[in-house]
Amino acid sequence: MDQSQTDFIYCCGAATELLRFGSLDSAYKVLFLIIPGESNASAAAEHDMFGLNGQIEHKLAFIRKHVPRETSLVLLGHSIGCYIILEMMKRNPELSVLKAVMLFPTIERMAQTPQGKVMTPVLCHMRYVAYLPLFLLSLLPDTLKVSLIKLVLANYGLSCCDLFPLSANAMYMGGQEMRKVLKRDNTTIKKNLDKLIFYYGATDHWCPVQYYHDIKQEFPHGDFRLCENGFRHAFVLDAGREVAEMVFEWLDKSKM
């Protein structure tokens, strides 16, 4: 297996961190493209790259520029990444998508979820209040910052100097999600139903089980699965390998 490599490329005027296996220059027949629930790009402000629309266009631009037209895609999304995938398929129906796996999908009524009801006031109306302490914390000497926050940041592989910009960007993006992720896009789901696999959490406060039952009732012939393994929404923190093995098994058995 190829070793993972990290590159920085420019896309839509933004410096974008790309974690990849294999060469960008190789003519692979199938590309597995992971759309996570957060951005890791240094954005050009005029493109609103940290906004929801900017993130969607950023992914489409990456495919146009770096993925050969004859390459088929397997899209893997988590959380808001699932919403981004549906928008990508809607905006560019010519994408050659074999399968799209939606893990813990936040694709509808985010502000009405248990977590959304708590976070909407914070993200939409109070996020500027949080900027000041984050900014002041970012000014502390690195040695002091390490002692204060290394236990938190160690889980994400971030340096202390990343704290303020990444936190501010995440809150900005989160506020847009609360405002814009409203009605489920049944039209796009219906058009691509045979390509989609949805995996809902049994105790996901960002996507209640009722949403699983609702979409399953709307599309009785779709592939909708409910977690029976106790995985949480932020599974990357403690169950990344288990989820990866599960998804690999699904794709291995699927008819792509």
What share of the chain has pLDDT > 70, as a percent? 73
Please enumerate in sequence order all residues whose Cβ is within 8 A of that of 124, keeping only pairs 6 or more positions apart, or say none. 175, 178, 179
Catalytically annotated residues? 79, 204, 233
Please answer whether residues 100 and 77 qualify as being in contact, where contact means their C-beta atoms are separated by less than 8 angstroms. Answer: yes
Q: For the domain 1-109+182-256, what is the CATH superfamily, name and number?
A: Alpha/Beta hydrolase fold, catalytic domain (3.40.50.1820)
b or e along 187-201 (b: 16 or more beta carbons within 10 Å of the residue's beta carbon)? ebbeebeebbbbbbb
State phi, psi for 130 to the nearest 5 degrees: -75, -20
Boundaries of every domain in the chain: 1-109+182-256, 111-180
Split at pLDDT 50, 70, 90, the class of 122 is confident
Task: Give how far Cα 88 sits from Cα of 57, 168, 227, Å.
Answer: 8, 25, 26
pLDDT at 11 over 50: yes
pTM: 0.80
pLDDT at 154 over 60: no
